[in-house]
Amino acid sequence: MSRIIAWAFAALFLVSAESRAHGLRPPADTSGIAITPISHGQMAVIADYRNQIHVLASWTAERDVTVAKLLDFSRQQYARCLWGWVPGSVTDEASPFNECSHAYLAADQAMLLRIRDGGYWPEITSELFDKIERQMVRKGSSLVLCAFSAAAFNTASLIGPHWIDVLYHLPSLLTVALLALAVLAGLVIVVMRLRASEEGDAVAGKISEQATPGP
């Protein structure tokens, strides 16, 4: 029991150390592609057009290594942010998932700029870029800042949510709790089905033995 308690405290310490009280975390590894920070207002607009940007990036990835790396980074970051399921991940500065949302949306913005500057799909890219730019100007997105608006990222350094802060952010806590319950329920169902299958096989085996005539 003492070992279990010790391991629990060690795990809590590691999570707390990674979270660092909802502060900025500079890239641990800068050997990849540097990604320019994105403001709080800009990320909200980019999020609206993320699917369209990713379609263009998917077309371009085979032609451009930088786009391919940014696309891979964005997808991995999106998964670490629980695929945007947690309410307020993009819009709420207090969300433990806000910084990691900045990361994948900054990569999405960088992808769009790279695709435009590279001259890929010029008509489609220009139309999308102009649409996003007009919406940013209309909403004054560059003026809407938050604690992570100055955060720089790097494709070699993935970051996760501030997990310890989930305990103090009700929407995140409820969502993570529901996801955990869903996973637990799924495991219980799988175990029950496996046991039922084993019991069924055992019963079938006994019936087969009884039905087999003796010598």
Cβ neighbourhood burial of 173 (10 Å; 0-12, 13-18, 19+)? middle
Please state, in angstroms and rounded to a whole number, the distance separating the CA atoms of residues 194 and 199: 9
Cβ-contact 75, 21 below 8 angstroms: no
DSSP characters over 155-170: TTB-----GGGGGG-H
Q: Judging by DSSP bridges, how do beta strands 34-35 and 153-154 pair with one another?
A: antiparallel
Residues 6+ apart with CB under 8 A from 121: 56, 59, 60, 115
159-171 pLDDT, tens digit each: 999 999 988 888 8
45-73 pLDDT, tens digit each: 999 999 999 999 999 999 999 999 999 99
Cβ-contact 35, 110 below 8 angstroms: yes
Q: Which of 37, 16, 40 is nearest to 143 (CA)?
A: 40
Cβ-contact 116, 109 below 8 angstroms: no
Q: What is the DSSP letter of 153?
A: E
Residue 128 in this model has a pLDDT that exceeds 70: yes
Half-sphere exposure of 18 (CA within 13 A, CB side): 15
Residue 211 in this model has a pLDDT that exceeds 70: no
Q: Which of 103, 87, 4 is nearest to 46 (CA)?
A: 103
Q: What is the mean pLDDT of the chain?
A: 82
Q: N- to C-terminal Cα distance for the chain?
A: 56
74-126 pLDDT, tens digit each: 999 999 999 999 999 999 989 999 999 999 999 999 999 999 999 999 999 99
**Exposure class string for 12-40: b at 16+ Cβ within 10 A, else e:** eeeeeeebeebeebebeeeebbebebbbb
Residue 43 in this model has a pLDDT that exceeds 60: yes
